[in-house]
Chains A and B, each alone.
Chain A
Amino acid sequence: MKPNDPAPGPEILAGFTAALATGAIRIIDLTQTLGPDFPSIVMPPEIGQSRAFRMEEISRYDERGGAWYWNNLSFGEHTGTHFDAPIHWVSGRDLPNSSTDTIPVADFIAPAVVIDCSKESAADADFLLTPDFIKAWEAVHGKIPPRCWVLMRTDWSKKTDPAAYQNFDEVGQHTPGPDPDAVRFLLNERDVLGFGTETIGTDAGQAAHFLPPYPCHYYMHGAGRYGLQCLTNLDLLPPTGSSLIAPPLKIQQGSGSPLRVLALVPSSQAGASRP
């Protein structure tokens, strides 16, 4: 909308809700179920650990509370399908509005593109997304617009065996992610809003050995941009044309939060991201 356009009338939302009601816009849930069985991030055992998701009953219609069922929850901010705020990384520590309670809410609803790396990731668990791969995708689907989520589809979320999902061997984790050049390209050349993955981090499993270590965290958060990880159902999104609703919990000075990620997809486009 340009500044000189007249203010939109009430019909602008009516059209949207009508499209939801008729199914012209489909809602796709990109969220893994938050429970104790979903794999949690692994850190070297001597350093600080993120708590895995745990749920303890307060009462269940019993002597602990007559007619009601409820639970106490505990988990790290970076558990299950979750959002990474810029303050999560040291590179973003001094940015304004960089924690879950201060990020501008307009950033929580934004368009998304999906880059399908599923075949490549199936062939090589250490597959890295490169600028050339992104440019080849753009040659088919058009240039990535600014302030847009870039989602890396790997079909990793289809690995229901937790050991296969984590994919550790004696030298660490083997999961796909972006290489440092790709992150720099997405930020500097395309001004993306954030990067989303199906794996347990936005960075590749071996990214501790990259320069800089964990480039997606380092550059994205250093630029005030966001991360989404442990996403699922990316195979149901079109390469372009979807929008995400991804607001984290409003945690005071939060570095991230589990969240429900919903994708809005024009029904004509819902299906698969492979062209």
Chain B
Amino acid sequence: MSETIKRPKRKNPILKTRAPTLPPDRRSRIALGLVRGAAMGKLELQCCAACGAVQYPPREACVRCLSAELEWTVMSGRGELVSETTLHHSQELFFRERMPWRLGLVRLAEGVSLVVHLDARCGPAPSPVIVEAVLDRAGQAALVAKPDDGNTALADEPKLRNFTSDPRFRKVLVTDAKSPVGQAVVKAVLEAGADLVWAGHCEPWKNPPGWPAIAQLPKVTLVPLDVTDTKSVNELAAELGFKVDIVINTSEHHRTFGIFGRAGVETARAEMETNCFGLLRLAQAFGPVMQSRGADGETSAVAWVNLLSIYALSNFPQHATYSASMAAALSVAQALRAEMRVAGIRVVNIFPGPIDDEWNQLLLPPKLAPSAVARAIVGALEGSVEDVYPGDIAQDWLARFRDNPKALERELGR
């Protein structure tokens, strides 16, 4: 963690809280091709299958040979800053509030020129830079150039910090801090510089390993929260919803049954109750008040993280009902993303493969350590992504899903 970002002063309570503004977000369908990679932190540009030309901005046909066979292809990101300028005026409210704003022209190694948001730490042109695809506060893809020195976090640059959900100095609610992942997340966000963590916990008579130590951590406040209980969710939101800058929903109910493995719907219902309706309850209780604080200074409400599962993409029949509940949760999360976008609040979905916990005991490695899930969550907040597939299994399933979802369905059904 760098010291470049100073702790902001407390808010002046006699001044009006500013309303959130968004950067311009109208895009053609072709231009939206950029967001597919950017959502996962990848810079993808159109590459012509016929002649090999890389082009930017995105178009319907190849600018060199007019072929319509254009494939979105991952770029190296390496390039040279060709020129730079600093904007002092804009007709866009979002940028007017943030002037001056630095822009640059970068010649990418792949031979194409890009207009980029320029990191203040980039030397004068010409100089080597790394271009990254990021998400702006409207959730649209944007291009950012950083110095090519391998160690420049977006969140450490005061302007580019706008593209992140940096937990530094922010107040975080972890909805289930008792689970192995929840405990790891509490530790990770505190290490990342969060001001405090509200550690949600239910069923106070259960005292799992590790929990007493978490409860003792400085900057941790235990709060009763059961996402299956509307009263509990509403009471907590009423108490502290107006102070929460980041929600990390780690609440999860996971049983390991196929359709025939557990008679009746009670286990499936319990999974839905936590994984899907729990998210819906949290969203209804905490979402609106967070929206109202989307521009509340340097430590505004900024992000909402959902711990989902790679099984949300395609059902893993050995864990059939859990997969179904996670697919439902993903759908709710997509709707929440649309609702929160108007306030510039990012909804981040984490799609881990099997986590190394009791419910995945019978699955062979590789399995994700809870600490690895926590690192993925903090990484998403410090960076600028909204879909995270941590670990080899998740990456493998995602690749197979994107290549041929029917093939993955057959493979998982074996």
Contact = CB atoms under 8 A, between A and B. Distances in A.
Interface of A: 36, 39, 42, 46, 48-49, 51-52, 54-57, 161-163, 165-168
Interface stretch (B46-54, B68-76, B146-154, B201-209): B201-209
B182 to A, nearest CB: 16
A39 B226 CA distance: 13
A233 B65 CA distance: 87
Given A163-B204, A168-B205, A168-B207, A46 B255 contact: yes
B230 interface: yes
B238 to A, nearest CB: 15
A162 B266 contact: no
A42 B255 CA distance: 16
Contacts of A46: 255
Given A46-B255, A48-B266, A49-B270, A36 B229 contact: yes
B88 interface: no
A165 B205 CA distance: 8
A42 B208 CA distance: 14
A39 B229 contact: no
A36 B205 contact: no
Contacts, number: 37
A42 B226 CA distance: 15
B227 to A, nearest CB: 11
Interface string B124-147: 000000000000000000000000
A165 B267 CA distance: 26
A167 B231 CA distance: 25
Given A49-B266, A51-B266, 8 more contacts: A36-B229, A39-B205, A42-B206, A48-B266, A48-B267, A49-B267, A52-B228, A163-B204
B232 interface: yes
Contacts of B207: 163, 168
Give the contact-size bracket for chain B. Answer: 10 to 19
A163 B205 contact: yes
B325 to A, nearest CB: 15
A49 B203 CA distance: 14
Contacts of B229: 36, 52, 54
A55 B230 contact: yes
5 closest pairs, A vs B, by CB? A166-B205, A163-B205, A36-B229, A163-B204, A168-B205
A16 B204 CA distance: 45
A36 B231 contact: yes
A184 B270 CA distance: 38
B206 A55 contact: no
Contacts of B255: 46
A167 B206 CA distance: 9
8 contacts: A36-B232, A52-B229, A54-B228, A55-B230, A56-B230, A57-B230, A163-B207, A168-B207
Contacts of B204: 161-163
A52 B229 CA distance: 9
Contacts of A52: 228-229
Nearest to A36: B229
Nearest to B226: A36
Contacts of B270: 49, 51
Contacts of A51: 266, 270
B108 to A, nearest CB: 52
Nearest to A48: B266
B206 A168 contact: yes
Nearest to B255: A46
A162 B203 CA distance: 8
Nearest to A40: B203
Interface string B63-103: 00000000000000000000000000000000000000000
A86 B80 CA distance: 81
Contact of B205 (A42, A48, A54, A57): A42
Interface string B236-260: 0000000000000000000100000
Contacts of A36: 226, 229, 231-232
A162 B201 CA distance: 13
